[in-house]
């Protein structure tokens, strides 16, 4: 294939990267902790942790997992919390012990959490106690599920006085911790104290070993674990690192991370900036715009990631104009398409363009990105990273010429090894010659830039999060008053898309309020429908009885 993009790479960016420089993500961490020991690694809510402290705390947690819990190489450990200082400690502790990280959205409902824990075979979980009540319900429903539970409080990694004050306020003033009771639960800080006196045993790790089970939806709507090996992750860190090397300096950057680390985009970004010794500023709740902007005012940020909705929310906040952005170098967006109006407003307000990138959970996630030297938003997703191939293929796997629309496909060392215990699903997304089918339709222009035109799948993207119609439909259909349901995405100025359901009733008395209350019991917040349309006629279907979602999206709603 002709890699047209290589002719348009900015000066200094290599066509290939050395994916063998590090044998594992653990080695990347160890390198950074040695090189940048005295520098701040992560900060959150006004508390900071140096690279030396990250090294010590993650070592202690790893030793505890190996010795006190007796975990062995390849065992899976789930992490269920928002962005807190405990997250990188737990994350790197799991990896240093030779174990596998299973990232869990803390907003999961009981059925969603139950599926992920069972499917992954997790043997332990670190959970913020704000969400322990959900875990309690899962464990009560599944007495055979053997799981060591480690709980943490928001302030556990803060200095002592701040820790006590924060935890009291969260629990007793703001009432943010629902009642929970899990027999045998262990406190996170107790694991660090116990691990400090234990030996950390070296576990050999190579590129072929699994680092993460990163869960993502599928055409069936059932979440699947993308198997991301140490080799996948190291390759992507090297690829992204080469892309930013000319603009960002080792040990000098302040990276603001307002997206949750359990999401692969934020996870990878945090690892990339940890690798270059950046100060990672973790934002726990970016929806609290006042607190978010307060953090932005405190730090001379140089880099930030986000999604279209987040940038729009910042632009709409009057306080944002008070943030000093003179140090800002790079603003990256992924997870969902950037709207032109947001890109243009952002450039006008900050003087810095939004660099749009593209990837998937299955590609660790970086695959394609705009160069950092663009002056304005390009309206494309950019060019493939070094050591990455991208092509536009037809349904038969044939490469299409420049400008012709087909399915964008990716091949490279960052592409997952497959789906956890799902060889059938793995086979569906790979071609015979190793291309990963992304499900996104688009074309490549004569410069080697790619542009997405549509999605082949029925996936809905809500503020950068994937929502699969089948999962919504399954939850809605559980209501006894529903005869038929279809879920589709409709454009939304704030979140890119929102979920709409079209419902045919069995029970004429069924109301929108009752149906949405039912949905809240089974779906995470961002998956809950924002629009409910009732119809009296059967929904359009194929000859095989499959509901034609595209027809529902494209046609105006009939009068009911």
User: Tell me: the pLDDT tens digits for 467-488?
Assistant: 878 788 878 988 999 988 999 9
pLDDT exceeding 70 applies to what percent of the chain?
97
Using CA atoms, how far residue 467 sits from 213, 280, 299, 519, in Å, is 19, 29, 34, 14
* pLDDT-derived band at 545, boundaries 50, 70, 90: low
Identify the CATH assignment for 460-554 out of 3.30.300.30, 3.40.50.12280, 3.40.50.360, 3.30.420.40.
3.30.300.30
Structure tokens belonging to residue 216: 């993502």
* pLDDT-derived band at 219, boundaries 50, 70, 90: very low
Structure tokens belonging to residue 265: 């985009």
Q: What pLDDT was estimated at residue 473?
A: 86
Chain mean pLDDT for the chain: 94
For residues 377-390, average pLDDT:
96
CA 463-466-471 angle, to 5 degrees, is 125
Using CA atoms, how far residue 475 sits from 358, 480, 486, 548, in Å, is 30, 11, 11, 19
* pLDDT-derived band at 445, boundaries 50, 70, 90: very high
In sequence order, which residues have a C-beta less than 8 Å from that of residue 232 and are 6 or more positions away?
A: 211, 364, 413, 414, 415, 416, 417
For residues 439-454, average pLDDT:
92
For residues 129-155, average pLDDT:
97
Instruction: Select the more confidently predicted residue: 169 or 549.
Output: 169
User: Tell me: the pLDDT tens digits for 273-285?
Assistant: 999 999 999 999 9
Other C-beta atoms closer than 10 Å to the C-beta of 90 total 28
Q: What pLDDT was estimated at residue 474?
A: 79
**Residue owning tokens 């992304």:** 438
Computed from CA positions of residues 327, 329, 334, 339, in that sequence, does the dihedral angle turn out positive or negative?
A: positive
Q: What pLDDT was estimated at residue 222?
A: 75
Q: What pLDDT was estimated at residue 217?
A: 66
Q: What pLDDT was estimated at residue 349?
A: 97
Rounded distance between C-alpha atoms, residue 530 and residue 17, angstroms:
44
For residues 122-143, average pLDDT:
98
Rounded distance between C-alpha atoms, residue 242 and residue 505, angstroms:
55
Residue 427 has pLDDT above 60, yes or no: yes
Nearest of 394, 551, 389 to residue 486 by alpha carbon = 551
User: Tell me: the pLDDT tens digits for 56-92?
Assistant: 999 999 999 999 999 999 999 999 999 999 999 999 9
Q: What pLDDT was estimated at residue 560?
A: 47
**% helix / strand / coil in the chain, to the nearest 5?**
35, 25, 40
Computed from CA positions of residues 110, 120, 222, 526, in that sequence, does the dihedral angle turn out positive or negative?
A: positive
Q: What is the DSSP track for 303-363?
A: EEEE-HHHHHHHHH-GGGGGS--TT--EEEE-SSPPPHHHHHHHHHHHS--EEEEEE-GGG
For residues 516-545, average pLDDT:
87
List the chain domain ranges.
Answer: 25-205, 389-455, 460-554
**236 strand-pairing partners:** none
Structure tokens belonging to residue 295: 């953090």
**Residue owning tokens 């969260």:** 170
Given CATH 1.10.3720.10, say whether it is the number of domain 25-205: no
Residue 256 has pLDDT above 60, yes or no: yes
Q: What pLDDT was estimated at residue 542?
A: 55
Nearest of 300, 286, 293 to residue 253 by alpha carbon = 300
Residue 550 has pLDDT above 80, yes or no: no
* pLDDT-derived band at 165, boundaries 50, 70, 90: very high
Residue 372 has pLDDT above 80, yes or no: yes
- Label residue 269 exposed, middle or buried (CB < 10 Å: 0-12, 13-18, 19+): buried
Residue 412 has pLDDT above 50, yes or no: yes
For residues 293-299, average pLDDT:
96
Using CA atoms, how far residue 394 sits from 26, 32, 399, 413, 440, in Å, is 39, 43, 7, 23, 12
| Highest-pLDDT range among 220-224, 302-306, 309-313 | 302-306
In sequence order, which residues have a C-beta less than 8 Å from that of residue 226 and are 6 or more positions away?
A: 212, 213, 214, 215, 216, 361, 362, 416, 419, 420
Least confident of 14-23, 322-331, 333-342, 409-418: 333-342
User: Tell me: the pLDDT tens digits for 27-48?
Assistant: 999 999 999 999 999 999 999 9
Instruction: Select the more confidently predicted residue: 307 or 384.
Output: 384
* pLDDT-derived band at 548, boundaries 50, 70, 90: confident
Instruction: Select the more confidently predicted residue: 50 or 549.
Output: 50
Cis omega (within 30 of 0) for bond into 365: yes
The pTM of the full predicted model, rounded to 2 decimals, is 0.87
Q: What pLDDT was estimated at residue 558?
A: 56
Q: What pLDDT was estimated at residue 470?
A: 75
pLDDT exceeding 90 applies to what percent of the chain?
84
Q: What pLDDT was estimated at residue 494?
A: 87
Rounded distance between C-alpha atoms, residue 537 and residue 548, angstroms:
14
User: Tell me: the pLDDT tens digits for 494-505?
Assistant: 889 999 999 999
Structure tokens belonging to residue 110: 């009981």
Residue 430 is classified by DSSP as B
Nearest of 8, 19, 14, 50 to residue 33 by alpha carbon = 50
For residues 147-152, average pLDDT:
98
How many residues are given for the chain?
560
Q: What pLDDT was estimated at residue 459?
A: 79
For residues 410-416, average pLDDT:
98
Rounded distance between C-alpha atoms, residue 378 and residue 191, angstroms:
49
Q: Please give the distance of CA 413 from its chain centroid, rounded to a whole number.
A: 20
* pLDDT-derived band at 544, boundaries 50, 70, 90: very low
Residue 541 is classified by DSSP as B
Rounded distance between C-alpha atoms, residue 251 and residue 236, angstroms:
20
Given CATH 2.60.120.10, say whether it is the number of domain 389-455: no
């Amino acid at each position: 294939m002709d890699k047209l993009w290589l002719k348009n790479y900015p000066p200094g960016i290599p066509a290939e990267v050395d994916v063998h420089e590090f044998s594992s993500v653990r080695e990347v961490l160890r390198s950074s902790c040695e090189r940048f020991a005295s520098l701040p690694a992560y900060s959150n809510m006004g508390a900071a942790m140096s690279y030396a402290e990250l090294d010590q705390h993650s070592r202690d947690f790893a030793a505890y997992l190996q010795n006190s819990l007796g975990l062995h190489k390849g065992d899976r450990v789930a992490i269920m919390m928002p962005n807190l200082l405990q997250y990188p400690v737990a994350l790197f502790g799991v990896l240093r012990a030779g174990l596998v990280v299973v990232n869990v959205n803390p907003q999961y409902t009981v059925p969603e959490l139950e599926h992920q824990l069972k499917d992954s075979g997790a043997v332990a979980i670190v959970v913020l106690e704000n969400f322990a009540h959900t875990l309690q319900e899962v464990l009560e429903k599944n007495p055979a599920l053997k799981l060591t539970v480690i709980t943490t409080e928001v302030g556990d990694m803060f200095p002592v006085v701040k820790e006590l004050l924060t935890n009291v306020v969260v629990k007793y003033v703001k009432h943010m911790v629902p009642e929970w009771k899990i027999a045998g639960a262990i406190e996170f800080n107790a694991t660090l104290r116990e691990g400090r006196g234990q030996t950390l045993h070296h576990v050999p790790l190579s590129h072929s070993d699994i680092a993460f089970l990163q869960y993502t939806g599928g055409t069936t709507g059932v979440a699947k674990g993308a198997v991301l090996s140490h080799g996948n992750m190291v390759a992507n860190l090297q690829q992204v690192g080469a892309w930013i090397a000319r603009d960002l300096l080792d040990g000098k950057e302040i990276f603001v991370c307002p997206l949750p680390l359990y999401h692969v985009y934020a996870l990878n970004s945090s690892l990339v900036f940890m690798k270059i010794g950046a100060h990672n500023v973790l934002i726990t709740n970016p929806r609290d715009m006042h607190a978010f902007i307060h953090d932005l005012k405190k730090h001379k940020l140089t880099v930030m990631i986000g999604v279209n909705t987040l940038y729009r929310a910042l632009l709409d906040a009057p306080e944002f104009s008070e943030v000093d952005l003179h140090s800002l170098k790079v603003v990256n967006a992924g997870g969902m398409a950037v709207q032109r109006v947001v890109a243009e407003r952002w450039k006008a307000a900050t003087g810095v363009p939004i660099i749009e990138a593209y990837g998937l959970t299955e590609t660790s996630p970086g695959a394609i990105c705009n160069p950092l030297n663009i002056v304005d938003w390009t309206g494309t997703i950019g060019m493939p990273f070094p050591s990455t191939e991208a092509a536009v293929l037809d349904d038969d796997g044939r490469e299409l010429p420049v400008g012709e629309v087909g399915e964008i496909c990716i091949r490279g060392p960052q592409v997952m090894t497959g789906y956890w215990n799902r060889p059938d699903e793995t086979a569906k997304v790979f071609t015979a010659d190793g291309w990963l089918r992304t499900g996104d339709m688009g074309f490549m222009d004569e410069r080697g830039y790619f542009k997405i035109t549509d999605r082949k799948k029925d996936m809905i993207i809500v503020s950068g999060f994937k929502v699969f119609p089948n999962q919504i439909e399954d939850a809605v259909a559980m209501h006894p008053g529903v005869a038929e349901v279809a879920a589709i995405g409709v454009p939304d100025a704030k979140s890119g898309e929102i979920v709409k359901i079209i419902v045919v009733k069995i029970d004429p008395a069924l109301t929108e309020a009752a149906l949405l209350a039912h949905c809240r019991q089974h779906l995470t917040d961002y998956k809950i429908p924002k629009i409910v349309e009732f119809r009296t006629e059967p929904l359009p279907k194929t000859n095989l009885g499959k509901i034609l979602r595209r027809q529902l999206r494209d046609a105006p709603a009939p009068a009911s």
